[in-house]
């Protein structure tokens, strides 16, 4: 049995009296791919924001590898090995594709502006092993020919692949993907599915927030279903269609995906 890497217990968040998340409780086992699904307004994005430090809960506990995350900033959480993506890719626009990946591998705790200015040659030598690894990652995501291109010049699909390449470069323990299939064509969708599976094969834990149910069914080991800020089911996708609450809240509206 896999142990729980992420444990969310009684998570609650309100905005102006509206309960976005209420008593949300679920766990994510290490090494698994977990789908987080539900209708619009179910509270999925709020949960992701709270877990990744882009919001603070009113109450409840968020533990990652034993560390309490509530109250921590996003950069501190990322250094623990938990990173997230956004619905719209966020690249460092003015940096090259290569530099985007190198920056993802940086050990920020040892970096300083003064060190960067006075020890440029030494830093360059220290970076060489990372450059070798980054070149391999660029090949893996079919971005090698674009390594010297500024990220702002990439197409939408290329930016999505760059985002996944940065995940590979950062080597997180857990990654949360926020609607990775949104607006992508079938060819890119297949590559994204392969990338998620490759992360799992490397021993990473993945949480996917997604409306594309065939993708969830094909990719995820377990699924967490939310509605009106609450978790209403958790388990294998195959068993969710037998759950009346899940069908009423979500699956019953998505027969077109079958």
- β-pairing verdict for 222-227 and 230-235: antiparallel
Question: What token pair was written down for 9?
Answer: 């217990």
The residue written with tokens 């969310």 in the block is 8
Tokens of 124: 């360059």
- C-alpha–C-alpha distance, residues 80 and 67, integer Å: 9
CB 104 within 8 A of CB 98: no
Q: In this structure, which CATH number among 3.30.300.30, 3.40.1390.10, 2.40.30.10, 3.40.50.300 belongs to the domain 4-91+156-257?
A: 3.40.50.300
Local mean pLDDT, 10-residue blocks, the chain (258 residues): 84 92 95 94 95 96 95 93 90 92 68 46 64 92 94 90 93 94 86 91 94 92 94 92 84 48
- Whole-number pLDDT of residue 103: 87
Extract the tokens encoding 80.
């623990």
Q: Quote the pLDDT of residue 258.
A: 39
Q: How far is CA 93 from its chain centroid? A: 20
| Rounded Cα distance, 186 and 171, in Å | 27
Q: What pLDDT does 17 receive?
A: 84
Determine contact, residues 37/210, Cβ cutoff 8 Å.
yes
- Stated as kind and residue range, the H or E segment containing 100 is helix 97-105
∠ CA(15), CA(182), CA(41), 5° rounding? 25
Q: What residues does CATH 3.40.50.300 cover in the chain?
A: 4-91+156-257
Sequence-ordered list of residues with C-beta below 8 angstroms from that of 158, at least 6 positions apart, any chain: 143, 146
Nearest Cα neighbor of 27 from 54, 2, 49, 59 is: 2
Distance CA 46, CA 235 (A): 21
What's the confidence (pLDDT) of residue 38? Answer: 92
pLDDT of residue 121: 57
Strand 174-178 and strand 205-209: pairing?
Answer: parallel
Q: What is the pLDDT of residue 89?
A: 83
What's residue 127's pLDDT? 66
The token pair that represents 24 in the structure block: 């949300």
Taking the model in full, what pTM does it have? 0.86
What pLDDT score does 188 carry?
A: 87
pLDDT of residue 252: 59
């Amino acid at each position: 049995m896999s142990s729980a890497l992420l444990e969310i217990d009684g998570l609650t968040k309100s905005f102006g009296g509206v309960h976005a998340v209420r008593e949300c409780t679920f766990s994510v086992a290490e090494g698994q791919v977990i789908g987080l699904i539900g209708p619009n307004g179910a509270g999925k994005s709020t949960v992701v924001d709270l877990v990744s430090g882009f919001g603070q809960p009113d109450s409840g506990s968020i533990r990652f590898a034993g560390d309490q995350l509530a109250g921590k900033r996003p950069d501190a959480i990322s250094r623990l090995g938990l990173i997230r993506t956004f619905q719209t890719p966020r690249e460092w626009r003015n940096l090259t594709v290569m530099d985007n990946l190198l920056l993802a591998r940086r050990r920020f705790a040892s970096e300083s502006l003064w060190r960067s200015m006075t020890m440029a040659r030494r830093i360059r030598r220290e970076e060489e092993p990372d450059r070798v690894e980054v070149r391999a990652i660029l090949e893996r995501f079919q971005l090698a020919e674009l390594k010297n291109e500024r990220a702002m010049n990439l197409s939408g699909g290329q930016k999505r692949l760059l985002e996944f390449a940065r995940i590979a470069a950062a080597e997180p323990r857990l990654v949360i993907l926020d609607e990775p299939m949104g607006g992508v064509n079938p060819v890119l969708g297949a590559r994204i599915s392969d990338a998620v599976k490759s992360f799992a094969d490397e021993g990473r834990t993945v949480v996917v927030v997604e409306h594309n149910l065939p993708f969830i069914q094909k990719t995820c080991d377990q699924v967490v279903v939310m509605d009106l800020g609450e978790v209403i089911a958790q388990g294998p996708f195959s068993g969710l269609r037998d759950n009346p609450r899940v069908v009423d809240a979500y699956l019953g509206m998505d027969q077109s995906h079958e």
